[in-house]
């Protein structure tokens, strides 16, 4: 009996060991090749899409549907996701042995839906830096729900309430805003309103009647300096996540630095020629294999992926382009982050496009009449806001939500 028990124990250890080896090889991408009768080192491709259930084509051949994992022999593959009613997504990917590569994206509708957000007119809307709010003026002739004057400065929250309902726009001051301009504080709690009558600081969360406003014209410069210091401190804290050598180059040779919402990527324009050094950051397994540009050309626009140490050229044409800002009324095109942190939105004449952060898969998600370049990538990943009068030149423009997912 003792010999049988020992034999069974040894057999159990042997079986568990063999199974463990098989599981380990499978997890690393190895698959058994019946032709060569041995395990071949493959790579794993994880395919995910939102919405899920998209067809996955590898080199033009339908393989499966998202979300799943595919074992592929090492090599270069053309990967495509297709789903009815959505733009296709395509990438050429390098698959390496024993490496997990991820192909993950959001798919966007070919035919968007429009719904109004404001109704009394939206003049000169300005989004906050974090896109959680938009400030705009309403003509003095408008009336609010109580029958009182609705003219003045208004704020709409772009963050959705539960069940998808939007917060109603709120009036934060009354009066005629003709000739006025406004800008947000870095923390989005205040707005500096500059009118022909003076300069005023408004609480973005409450209503302050015009006759209660305090003129701070003499303190305007000091307030702006303080706001800039706070913005600079935040940027410095964000840049600490980048390797010091690369961060120093970007601080000296780049402008309009704008971090993605998750702070893993940096959108910027080159201010001068420079070259981002290689082999400073350890290469991550399964990192992007898309073409990158580490030599910076002045005025061209790039995205630097902090985790993967990859730098992508996303826009070569600098003409009338602003990065992440709607403050300059002279610009005709604006490039900004979409809240997924994996996409960019380009607002330009007659169309709004969305693209992967490496510049690939650029698609027009809205074409038609709107007040260029007022298209805002708010925090919701299923819509953007645009300013339009729907082609009616005799009516004031309003903010409309464009559902793209």
Please give the angle made by the CA atoms of 299, 301 and 303, to the nearest 5 degrees. Answer: 150
Share of the chain above pLDDT 90, in %: 72
* pLDDT number for residue 12: 59
List the structure tokens of 158. 């772009």
CATH 2.60.40.10 intervals, the chain = 30-106
Query: How far apart are the C-alpha atoms of 306 and 10, rounded to whole Å?
Result: 50
pLDDT at 403 over 80: yes
pLDDT at 398 over 50: yes
pLDDT at 146 over 70: no
pLDDT tens for 178-228 read 999 999 999 999 999 999 999 999 999 999 999 999 999 999 999 999 999
Q: How far apart are the first and last CA of the chain?
A: 68
30-106 homologous superfamily: Immunoglobulins (2.60.40.10)
pLDDT at 31 over 60: no
Query: How far apart are the C-alpha atoms of 369 and 189, rounded to whole Å?
Result: 32
* pLDDT number for residue 330: 75
pLDDT at 250 over 80: yes
253 burial type by CB count under 10 A (0-12 exposed, 13-18 middle, 19+ buried):
middle
CB 379 within 8 A of CB 339: yes
pLDDT tens for 301-356 read 999 999 999 999 999 999 889 998 877 667 889 999 999 999 999 999 999 999 99
For residue 90, the cross-strand partners are 80
pTM, two decimal places: 0.86
* pLDDT number for residue 34: 47
* pLDDT number for residue 320: 87
Closest CA to 41 of 58, 29, 49, 55: 29
pLDDT tens for 8-30 read 555 555 544 545 544 454 555 45
* pLDDT number for residue 145: 52
Query: How far apart are the C-alpha atoms of 128 and 331, rounded to whole Å?
Result: 18
Mean pLDDT, range 247-254, rounded to an integer: 94
Mean pLDDT, range 92-107, rounded to an integer: 92
Half-sphere exposure of 255 (CA within 13 A, CB side): 12
* pLDDT number for residue 23: 45
Query: How far apart are the C-alpha atoms of 340 and 362, rounded to whole Å?
Result: 15
* pLDDT number for residue 395: 87
67: which residues sit within 8 A by CB, 6+ positions away? 47, 48, 49, 52
CB atoms closer than 10 angstroms to residue 81: 24
List the structure tokens of 9. 């124990």
Closest CA to 365 of 50, 51, 110, 116: 110
pLDDT at 127 over 80: yes
Return the sign of the alpha-carbon dihedral for residues 208, 213, 214, 215: positive
Query: How far apart are the C-alpha atoms of 170 and 106, rounded to whole Å?
Result: 32
* pLDDT number for residue 345: 97
Q: Is 20 helix (H, G, I), strand (E, B) or coil?
A: helix
Closest CA to 193 of 220, 167, 159: 220
Q: Bigger pLDDT: 27 or 123?
A: 123
pLDDT tens for 356-394 read 999 999 999 999 999 999 999 998 889 999 999 987 878
* 92-101, 280-289, 347-356, 373-382: segment of lowest average pLDDT: 280-289
50: which residues sit within 8 A by CB, 6+ positions away? 105, 106, 107, 405
Q: What is the CA radius of gyration of the chain?
A: 27
Query: How far apart are the C-alpha atoms of 146 and 192, rounded to whole Å?
Result: 27
* pLDDT number for residue 161: 46
Q: Bigger pLDDT: 35 or 322?
A: 322
Locus of tokens 């120093």: 248
For residue 347, the cross-strand partners are 334, 352
Query: How far apart are the C-alpha atoms of 399 and 115, rounded to whole Å?
Result: 9
* pLDDT number for residue 380: 87
Phi, psi of 93 (to 5 degrees): -120, 145
Closest CA to 49 of 7, 104, 97: 104
* pLDDT number for residue 311: 97
List the structure tokens of 213. 């406003």
């Amino acid at each position: 009996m003792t010999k049988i028990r020992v034999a069974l124990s040894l057999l159990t250890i042997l079986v568990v060991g063999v199974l463990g080896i098989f599981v380990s090889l499978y997890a690393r991408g190895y698959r058994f090749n019946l032709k060569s009768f041995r395990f071949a080192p493959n790579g794993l491709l994880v395919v995910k899409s939102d919405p899920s259930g998209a067809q996955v084509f590898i080199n033009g051949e339908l393989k499966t549907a998202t979300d799943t994992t595919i074992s592929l022999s090492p090599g270069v593959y053309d990967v495509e996701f297709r789903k009815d009613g959505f733009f296709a997504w395509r990438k050429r990917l390098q698959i390496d042995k024993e490496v997990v590569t991820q192909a993950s994206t959001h798919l966007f509708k070919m035919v968007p839906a429009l719904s109004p957000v404001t109704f009394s007119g939206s003049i000169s809307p300005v989004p906050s830096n974090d896109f959680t709010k938009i400030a705009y003026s309403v003509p003095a002739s408008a009336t609010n729900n109580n029958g009182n004057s609705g003219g003045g400065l208004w704020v709409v929250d772009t963050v959705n309430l539960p069940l998808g309902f939007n917060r109603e726009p709120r009036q934060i001051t009354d009066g005629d805003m003709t000739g006025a301009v406004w800008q947000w504080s870095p923390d989005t709690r205040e707005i500096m309103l500059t009118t022909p009558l003076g300069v005023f600081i408004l609480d973005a969360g409450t209503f302050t009647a015009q006759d209660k406003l305090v003129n701070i014209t003499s303190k305007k410069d000091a307030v702006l300096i303080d706001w800039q210091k706070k913005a600079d401190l935040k940027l410095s804290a964000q840049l600490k996540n980048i390797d010091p050598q690369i961060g120093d180059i970007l601080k000296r040779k780049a402008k309009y630095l704008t971090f993605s919402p998750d702070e893993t990527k940096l959108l910027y324009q080159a201010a001068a020629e420079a070259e981002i050094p290689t082999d400073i950051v350890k290469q991550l397994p399964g990192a992007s294999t898309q073409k990158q540009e580490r030599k910076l050309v002045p005025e061209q626009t790039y995205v630097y992926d902090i985790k993967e140490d990859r730098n992508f050229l996303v826009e070569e044409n600098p003409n009338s382009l602003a990065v992440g800002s709607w403050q300059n009324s002279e610009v005709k095109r604006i490039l900004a982050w979409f809240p997924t942190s994996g996409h960019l939105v380009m607002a330009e004449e007659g169309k709004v496009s969305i693209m992967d952060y490496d510049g690939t898969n650029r698609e027009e998600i809205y074409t038609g009449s709107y007040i260029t370049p007022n298209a805002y990538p708010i925090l919701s990943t299923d819509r953007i806001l645009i300013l339009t009068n729907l082609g009616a030149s005799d009516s004031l423009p309003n903010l409309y939500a464009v559902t793209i997912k």
